[in-house]
Chains A and B, each alone.
Chain A
Amino acid sequence: DADVTQTPRNRITKTGKRIMLECSQTKGHDRMYWYRQDPGLGLRLIYYSFDVKDINKGEISDGYSVSRQAQAKFSLSLESAIPNQTALYFCATSSPPTLATDTQYFGPGTRLTVL
């Protein structure tokens, strides 16, 4: 079984609808992240969480919200979806950083289309 799972894998929705993307992990990592990927722009951080009680905004959090239900679960919500939120969304996890680095491990992604 995959260490980081995302549901759904694909979703088509309409403008104004509320959407929730879910992420679960079995790696036992404390840190979880949500990114979106757009062609030519690379991965951009939406929100991140260092533990269940810690939620932080990333560089593009407007229009999104998150919930950390447990150490292993981190959900991303679009309260009122708009077409420019059409993108590939990735969840990632990491263990607390060593002195040197904090390697992130990614889920398979959710392709979201907003019509």
Chain B
Amino acid sequence: EDQVTQSPEALRLQEGESSSLNCSYTVSGLRGLFWYRQDPGKGPEFLFTLYSAGEEKEKERLKATLTKKESFLHITAPKPEDSATYLCAVQAGTGGFKTIFGAGTRLFVKA
């Protein structure tokens, strides 16, 4: 069964304290892995798409990496404005269209 698991459920960091969020997946034929940011009361906002193992993408303090079994979202020197829920999703390349979302990691960054 296709599945996406994110850990930890919640992460509390001090400003400047770097860390990583994990997204583990099992899917039949990965077509792409997505990272989204979701602020309270808002819809998910697209961050990255990763297509194959070994690929990396960066945006400001965020860096996403991908292996055959998991993806990491590394946050370097976070600021309070990075506080949000980060969602991971995978799209399968077989059986037609299918996108599966993880439950998300809630990140809190304290000044």
Contact across chains for A104 and B99 when beta carbons are under 8 A apart? yes
Question: How many A residues have CB within 8 A of the partner chain?
Answer: 23
Contact across chains for B91 and A106 when beta carbons are under 8 A apart? no
Chain A 4-19 interface mask (CB, 8 Å, partner B; 1/0): 1000000000000000
Contact across chains for B43 and A90 when beta carbons are under 8 A apart? yes
Contact across chains for A103 and B87 when beta carbons are under 8 A apart? no
Q: A43-B87, A101-B31, A101-B91 are in contact. Are A108 and B42 (CB under 8 A)?
A: yes
Question: How many B residues have CB within 8 A of the partner chain?
Answer: 23
* A105 contacts partner chain B, Cβ-Cβ < 8 Å: yes
User: How many A-B contacts if CB must be within 8 Å?
Assistant: 56
A residues near B34, Cβ cutoff 8 Å = 101, 103-104
Chain A 35-56 interface mask (CB, 8 Å, partner B; 1/0): 1000011111100101000000
Contact across chains for B102 and A42 when beta carbons are under 8 A apart? yes
Q: A101-B91, A105-B46, A106-B43 are in contact. Are A41 and B32 (CB under 8 A)?
A: no
In this complex, what residue of B is CB-closest to A111? B41
Shortest C-beta distance, B86 to chain A (Å), equals 12
Interface residues of B (CB under 8 A from A): 4, 9, 31-32, 34, 36, 41-46, 49, 51, 87, 89, 91, 97, 99, 101-104
